[in-house]
Amino acid sequence: MKLKTSLRQNLKFQAMVLLLSIAGGVYLILEKGLSLSSMKSMIISMSHIYALVLALWLMAHGLITIPRNRWNEGNILQNLNHYYLKVPKLVDTLEDTRISFKEDILQVLILKNNFTSSAVEENFAYRDWILNLANQVPSELEESVGRQYVHSDARSITREQLNEAFMNTLTYSFQGHMYKLRAYNSEYDTLLANVSRLQTLLEAKATEDPEERLRIMSSFGGLISPSANFYLQCYAKPVLARLLSIFLFVISFVIIQSEFFHSTKFSIVNIIVFKTGIHNHNLFQAIFSGILFLYMLFCSLNSLTRLKIFNMYHLVPGHSDPVSTCFYVSYIARLTIPLSYNFLTFFTDRSSIFEDWYGKSIHLTGLFDLMNSWVPRLLLIPVVLTTFNVYERLKKRIGLHSDMYGAWADFDDEEQLLNDENNMDSRNNRRELVIAEAKRTIAMELNRRNQTSRIHLRSFALQNAADSTYERNMQDFNLSLFGGINNRIDTYHDDNSTALVINADVQGLWSRLGGAVNNFKDAVQSRIARNSSYRDDPLDSYEYDEDAQENLVL
């Protein structure tokens, strides 16, 4: 049934392509006549228009989101909430991928236990194949899945089922889920590291005691002193991020204006190059053009990685799968050529070898020339949609809000999680609940990793695992996250975290015992005083009761 459906959909697509090809051929015959060179030029023009539309749409989204994200980095608390809003969806996706991968691992373990014995001659056909898959199973998952293995008919695989088609399907599913899990784990680890770093900076910034602040900042390590690192992380970097954001906003405006007025003397890029005399200096012209074009290409590729329709491809530093690597390499080449020619249109004089070779095909007919001229001017449409976050509302109005039609235009932005509410108070309440739930999730994950010793230095980026302040920093950080919604970071908030520091030089045995008793009593009281326990319920089940009225510091 699935094969028939796939063939039917493929035939529909091929029929549409054939129909468009026939229409293009008829138009070409009427316009230029039928020849081999004109056919080649028509193919180049059609591929250019398709790639140009995709590249400009992706670039328009990146021209807005990249400077906006840099601006958010200028505020530590705002940047922290920016990461918190990503947590629920990432955790759900990670758990779903882990469950699917465990099902594939279970099948591999069943095959390994039943069909890899060298004593049975029939097992030699797929023995190496099965063992190769078994060797790729992560050790931590193999142990947990192995305990689920039971010899029952529901989980058994017969020898009749074991064939080449079954092994191909299992291998494809196994490797796909393995690469996805590796990518989501890497993204989750990076998210935890960023949240831990920003939370530590907030604690250091909210502390008035200089010694306590130095103790917190000493956990970062590095070549500079904790005091200098504090001013660098809390003041210098945010200011530099805001300045970089303003610079990128200016470049984005220059590109958008030049796209709208391309091939005219009103293009800002054309004015900068020809009116200031940069075109007379090859080095300066190459530097200016290179920076501008690389920024355009980077915006397109950055948006490509966030487009939901391509969320099956992931880039992991040092561990990217071959399919994802080939996909992104091919799209880099696919987007570079149309963006390169589009960059040339910023100038009134674009005489070059590239124009002589590629421009002849683009300007083959009046229709292709008209499309190449007006498609860049339509860049304002996705720019406006991205600036005001109206993708979701627009799709609702035109009836494209279903899963079938939604993914083509969706970007993986946390802002869209909150745009489906019309009431501002409801959006704010939902945002507070998402952040509160993310705090609990991250706190439990850091506690679990700390207890199982699976990671040692990620939360505070310590360079020395034997640092005597590591345990105190971890306790303070987990305590601040586990405090729930009512936990505050204000300078006037007097936590009991300072009671955890015991000066061994001035305290004797009785003072240490007394401090331990006081710490135990304070911990019990703080645990009892919590007015909201952790609930592993979906966010949509909340009715904004007293949980939404709690005092969340944003």
181 forms beta bridges with none
Give 301 or 415, the one with higher predicted confidence: 301
Residue 369 — very low, low, confident or very high, per pLDDT cuts 50/70/90?
Answer: confident
Is pLDDT of 399 > 80?
A: no
> Which two three-digit tokens encode residue 161?
């089922």
Percentage with pLDDT > 90 across the chain: 32
Query: Could you tell me the pLDDT band of residue 167, with boundaries at 50, 70 and 90?
Result: very high
Min mean pLDDT across 136-140, 321-325, 394-398, 530-534 is at 530-534
Q: Check residues 207 and 407 and name the one with the higher pLDDT.
A: 207
Most confident of 103-107, 157-161, 421-425, 481-485: 103-107
Rounded Cα gap, residues 227 and 21, in angstroms: 67
Q: Residue 307: beta bridge partners?
A: 411
Q: What is the pLDDT of residue 177?
A: 93
pLDDT score for 18: 85
Whether 466 has a pLDDT exceeding 60, the answer reads no
**What average pLDDT does range 244-252 have in this prediction?**
96
Task: Report the range of poorest mean pLDDT among 212-221, 236-245, 465-474.
Answer: 465-474
Least confident of 101-115, 309-323, 333-347, 502-516: 502-516
Ranges of each domain in the chain: 11-74+209-388, 95-206
Q: What is the pLDDT of residue 513?
A: 46
**Which phi and psi (to 5°) does residue 373 adopt?**
-85, -35
Whether residue 213 is predicted with pLDDT greater than 50 in this model: the reply is yes
DSSP string, 368-432: HHHHHHHTGGGGHHHHHHHHTT-HHHHHHHTT--SHHHHTTT-B--GGGGSTT-S-HHHHHHHHH
Instruction: Let me know: does 81 contact 165? Beta carbons within 8 Å.
Output: no
Q: What is the pLDDT of residue 277?
A: 85
Task: Quote the pLDDT of residue 508.
Answer: 45
User: DSSP per residue over 318-339, as a string?
Assistant: TT--HHHHHHHHHHHHHHHHHH
Q: Mean pLDDT lowest for which of 232-236, 388-392, 540-544?
A: 540-544
Work out the pLDDT band at 479, boundaries 50, 70, 90.
low
Enter the tokens of residue 286: 């190459």
Structure tokens at 456: 């040692």
